[in-house]
């Protein structure tokens, strides 16, 4: 995203140029190059992969809290941070990469990796439920 300056095109959400898919979809040949070099497509994949990730994290952490009655704060932080991260991503896009927001968005990604590692460790079969 940042390397391609992909936050400087289609500064709108959720549509891209009036449609769900960007008009540039499939412009490059062979097809796979679009996912690495076609800037609007790279942005399209980034935004919807992020939304899918958010839904999966909500299901994972929601189940841990509601069904398995996990009380560790990390699960609540994970839900909060995921929500914030998607919001920061949209703000980065709508502001055409206003630097302080973009930096917070990158920091948020690092924090999410840490939170995800912590919660996965806590729910791993060999980790006892009362460890942290």
Q: Which residues bind ligand HEM (CB under 6 A)?
A: 1-2, 7, 13, 46-47, 50, 53-54, 82, 85-86, 89-90, 92-93, 97, 102, 105-106, 109, 112
Which CB atom, from 80 or from 127, has the smaller least distance to ligand HEM?
A: 80
Shortest separation between residue 94's beta carbon and ligand HEM, angstroms: 8
Shortest separation between residue 55's beta carbon and ligand HEM, angstroms: 10
Q: Which of 58, 71, 72, 82 is nearest to 118 (CA)?
A: 72
Q: What is the CA radius of gyration of the chain?
A: 17
**Dist CA 21 CA 14 (whole Å):** 10
Shortest separation between residue 29's beta carbon and ligand HEM, angstroms: 24
**Dist CA 109 CA 127 (whole Å):** 25
């Amino acid at each position: 995203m940042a390397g391609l300056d992909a936050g400087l095109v289609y500064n709108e959400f959720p549509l891209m140029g009036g449609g769900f898919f960007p008009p540039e979809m499939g412009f490059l040949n062979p097809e796979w190059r679009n996912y690495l070099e076609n800037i609007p497509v790279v942005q399209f994949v980034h935004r919807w992969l992020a939304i899918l990730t958010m839904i999966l994290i909500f299901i994972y952490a929601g189940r841990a809290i509601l069904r398995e009655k996990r009380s560790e704060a990390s699960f609540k932080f994970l839900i909060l941070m995921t929500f914030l991260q998607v919001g920061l991503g949209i703000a980065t896009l709508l502001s055409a990469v206003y630097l302080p927001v973009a930096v917070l968005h990158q920091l948020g990604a690092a924090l999410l990796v840490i939170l995800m590692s912590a919660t996965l460790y806590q729910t791993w079969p060999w980790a006892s439920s009362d460890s942290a």
